[in-house]
Amino acid sequence: MTYYPLSQIKTNLYTNGGEYSLLTNRGRYVGYYYEVSTGQKYTGKNPQDKPNILLIPITLTNEVDPTIPFVQSNLDNLITLNNVVGRDQAKQFEFDTSFIPPPSLNTNPRLIPKFNLTLPTPQDQQNGQFTRYFCKKTNEIQYLEIDIDTFKKLTHKDPQIAWDLHNPVSLIWQITGNKEQVYNSNRASTIAIEQNLKWYGFSQYFQDKFLKYYQSQDINNLYTTGGEFTTKNGQNYIGFYHIHNGITPMVGKTHINTPHDVLISIKKPQPITQTTSSIILPTLPNIPSGGGSYSGGGSSIGGRGSY
């Protein structure tokens, strides 16, 4: 076979059938192929994906000649004479006319899932989580993130999409909270899917980006006139500050990646509210006859004799 540089090859092309047949036996071809600069097409995703059999365009003669076998390539849909010839021509051949192909065997081109991100909405940010959707190719370790519409079509086995070639799954993705806990939670969810569904390598698909879409709970652009915080060396702090992750007060309007000081809250004494049950009256001295008064503990007590 003539060598062609990569720049002269179109790889990973795909045909659902009805376009090309194999040169070797004129069998209809369904599957991946590549095209070289001369316009010739060969089976396989690229020249390294063997075997590389030359493909030829299907002609009307190929469609109706009963001596030409129709074959199926790779792991795609089964091809029957019902799919290939007209009803009048089909009468010439011996096959079970009661057979009705299921939706997955329909010769009409079907949608192939495409990469499509699902982004968190403002409501998702308030909830602290949202749902992401993925699918795996049934005969390959190949994962793809999809949107909810594609997920529903695959789940409901919609005949317009190649549902038999892709398995869907949904995943709850945490986006707020303690940063370390969010990371561990999302990682654990992907590993659970990997183990339960035997989706080997699914957790590696994320490339350790388990904090993707993470929403910091920082409260920014706060200001203190003093008396609220001290710096680590004990000085009263006056100026802008922010609360990182909703917990830690720090110097500066917003959180930055470079080091900056944590502020220490000044514990203010709480006011003491006394009730009757909490007042302890002192022992009063003997008061001479004739009356008098004694003031103590915020109360005024008068009387004759001793109390």
At 247, is the pLDDT very low, low, confident or very high (cuts 50, 70, 90)?
low
Confidence check: pLDDT of 202 > 70: yes
Residue-by-residue DSSP string for the chain? -----GGGEEEEEEE-SSSEEETTT--B--EEEEEETTS-EEESSSTTSS--PEEEE--HHHHH-TTS-----TTSPPP-HHHHS-HHHHTTS-S-TT----GGG--S--B-------PPPHHHHHHTEEEEEEEEETTSS-EEEE-HHHHHHHHTT-TTB-GGGEEEEEEEEE-SS-HHHHHHHHHHHHHHHHHHTT-TTTGGGGTT-TTTT-----EEEEEE-SSSEE-TTSPBP-EEEEEETTTEEEESSS--SS--PBPEE--PPPPP---GGG--PPPPPP--TT--EEEETTEEEE-SS--
Confidence check: pLDDT of 307 > 80: no
Residue 29 confidence (pLDDT):
84
Residue 16 confidence (pLDDT):
80
Residue 47 confidence (pLDDT):
87
76-129 pLDDT per residue, tens: 333 333 333 344 443 333 334 444 445 544 456 899 999 998 888 888 888 899
263-305 pLDDT per residue, tens: 998 865 545 444 444 444 445 455 444 443 333 333 333 333 3
Residue 64 confidence (pLDDT):
39
**Span 147-168, mean pLDDT?**
95
Confidence check: pLDDT of 20 > 50: yes
What average pLDDT does the structure give for the chain?
A: 75
Judged by average pLDDT, the poorest of 10-14, 70-74, 228-232 is: 70-74
Confidence check: pLDDT of 186 > 90: yes
Residue 61 confidence (pLDDT):
46
